[in-house]
Structure 1
């Protein structure tokens, strides 16, 4: 399998220091300000980050504050390197630093003060496919940075480029129609797996494993409502052998008094992999995906994925995502972009690396981008598109387990559909009844 070119651009170790030579007004603002920066790269959404105010000039900013990350594919790099592509002769990474009163928000006028900017020019090094340190250390910013005898505000940051090649896969049809899965490489589509969807009203043949975190409250005899259960997806390699699977461990049922699956009783999938040493069909749990739906200003499906490391009783929460039930969206496992708030993540056995985590098919955890999966809304024909970091793939079975997870994500959007709503054309009616 040949990966596609991706580059990880990271901005980290942010810090701001203001010397005694700057204006009294700025120092007074700084003492009660929340310092922010807007990080801009043309063609990408603006990202915002807090900037710690450093009072000690000797302070070491390399204690790894959270990184702001842009992921650039080959076409992004080509666009940035093309003169005049964005109506400007040269593209830049720009970091604009602001001070604002406590309680203000970046972007609100009259409540923040821009104190300076720093630019990194996009150049040939961005396309070399090698690690590159574009900047590291303190740099003067602000209007008076060049005035003799004055030292203006100084910004500390580290800007790095790292190659991050990825495999890209797509389901050729809706998951419920048992499609083929292909690898994308330019205009070439290479068949890699087949996906077999089934629905058993009596439940899955692997229901003996559903005791993993099963929290269904549907045993109440008086609570007779329809439920979606017994859905299963098998991932087969080109030889026809099952190499991964996902099945419903907890049915998707509407909460009392509502027509939707709620947070208090989410539906859940168990993602499993075959025993590598057993010739029989013996499956091991790898992860658990929970899903529910909440109504509000934006009707959304919430997805929460726990890794189930081998030999550990507790799961590790590695992704908590909200996806629009109407427009669809992206599910991802990416420790550079998010870590579920308020959830302690224990260091797995035999793994070091501080607070940086990542996920592998073998159940280990260590840092960075792992995978993403783009899906459509509940009433649209969805053909999941999956990206998988090359460094997490050692064999075809490593890929298969993430394809099973992607299938479960896609089907969860449909499974969380309100129960009283009639299905529209385009999705098999049999799995909604």
Structure 2
């Protein structure tokens, strides 16, 4: 398998210090503020990212070198776009980091004002496209926004900006997950078959539903008991080209409506068990991960997908690695990235202390995988990107294909159980 070239731009080791020579007003405004110092990190063509900047109290102190505030991932086309002059912007693209704090307003923040401390700018250069590790900046730099400020009195920002090659394998389901599609690897215009995907439903799931005591009026004559039965016993098998099963996803907890409502709720999520063949026992499976999913209500409903890696050697050990909201209408991207926080704001565990994915080499931090899926009523052919460093053989990629299939099917499994005039499902069962 040949990977596609990607570049990881990481920004970390952030810290802000205010020299003693700085004006008393500036020091009081920053140091005495009850709000954290924040930064907005901007790169043309990418969404603005926000991170907290710790205040450094002692002049000799230095922020942690290996801490990562955020990362951008660039394809070859992204790098070319940043290096090419545009019609409506300057001939040079920049990485820009704006540091600011908030002056407190009244009424729970209403009337508060963002006050900029300074800006760091780094021009995009030819080295961005060379595919080699390079540190673009490391250390302290003055960021006072006033050109008249004396150099020694300016606020100083510490940061480390680094480029690393981060090649990925890119896979595509050639049809909807329930239609038993082939999974191909994409390399430019070349499509190479790698796996096949088989969907099935265990008819034994038609046994008495433990939620059968709950009743509500059906809409348009829909048999709700039958609908409940459709959302249990689902199974996805991933086979290699020889026909051997190399990974699977089993619906471990049925997707049923919570008491008093017509949807799968956070209080009672459905769950998938992601498994791979047990190397020690023939025709046995070894648990690898668990994916939970439920529906969040709002102006636009979302499907929340929460993934735990099952820790080997620990009874019931689960490590939260991702919690992502996906639009129920438009779809979105589920991802695992150790540089990012979960949807609930919980940081993912330290990769160097939590072990590895699927008995592969230890994670060194950063991107692991992502999967793009479509929303309800849309034909979904999941597109999966997988970091090359987590794949030592073809079978290692299979477990992530099973996870991607489970994410895709969760969009369907979390649809409302009754809805007047509901759009036809994207999957036909």
Matching residue of 1:362: 359
Matching residue of 1:212: none
C-alpha offsets along residues 341-365 of structure 1, whole Å, 9 cap, x if unaligned? 5769777xxxx835xx685223886
Matching residue of 1:213: none
Tell me the CA shift for residue 222 of structure 1: 2.5
Matching residue of 2:90: 88
Residues 39 and 365 (structure 1), Cα distance of their counterparts in 2 relative to 1, 3 Å cut: same
Contact 1:379 1:423 in 2 (8 A): no
- Cα separation, 1, equivalents of 2:267 and 2:360: 27
Tell me the CA shift for residue 274 of structure 1: 0.9
Matching residue of 1:214: none
Residues 64 and 177 (structure 1), Cα distance of their counterparts in 2 relative to 1, 3 Å cut: same
Tell me if 1:154 matches 2:156: yes
Matching residue of 2:251: 248
Q: Secondary structure at the match of 2:37?
A: strand
Contact 1:310 1:363 in 2 (8 A): no
Mean CA deviation greater in 111-120 or 20-29:
20-29
Residues 130 and 346 (structure 1), Cα distance of their counterparts in 2 relative to 1, 3 Å cut: closer
- Cα separation, 1, equivalents of 2:89 and 2:22: 36
Residues 364 and 149 (structure 1), Cα distance of their counterparts in 2 relative to 1, 3 Å cut: closer
Tell me the CA shift for residue 368 of structure 1: 2.1
Contact 1:30 1:99 in 2 (8 A): yes
Matching residue of 1:427: 426
Q: Secondary structure at the match of 2:352?
A: coil
Matching residue of 1:32: 32
Mean CA deviation greater in 379-388 or 253-262:
253-262
Mean CA deviation greater in 336-345 or 195-204:
336-345
Contact 1:14 1:158 in 2 (8 A): yes
Match of 1:222 among 213, 218, 222: 213
Tell me the CA shift for residue 384 of structure 1: 0.5
Q: List runs of 5+ in structure 2 lacking aligned partners.
A: 216-223
Matching residue of 1:211: none
Tell me the CA shift for residue 377 of structure 1: 0.4
CA RMSD of aligned residues (A): 2.7
Matching residue of 2:352: 353
- Cα separation, 2, equivalents of 1:149 and 1:373: 47
Tell me the CA shift for residue 83 of structure 1: 2.1
Match of 1:183 among 173, 176, 185: 185
- Cα separation, 2, equivalents of 1:133 and 1:387: 25
Residues paired across the two proteins, number: 409
Q: List runs of 5+ in structure 1 lacking aligned partners.
A: 205-216
Tell me the CA shift for residue 388 of structure 1: 0.3
Alignment of 1:8-23 (within 5 A): 8-23=8-23
Q: Secondary structure at the match of 1:192?
A: strand
Tell me the CA shift for residue 176 of structure 1: 0.8
Under a length normalisation based on structure 2, what TM-score does the superposition of the two structures give?
0.88
Tell me if 1:60 matches 2:62: yes
Matching residue of 1:390: 388
Tell me the CA shift for residue 126 of structure 1: 0.8
Under a length normalisation based on structure 1, what TM-score does the superposition of the two structures give?
0.87
Residues 353 and 185 (structure 1), Cα distance of their counterparts in 2 relative to 1, 3 Å cut: same
Contact 1:308 1:363 in 2 (8 A): no
Residues 371 and 149 (structure 1), Cα distance of their counterparts in 2 relative to 1, 3 Å cut: closer
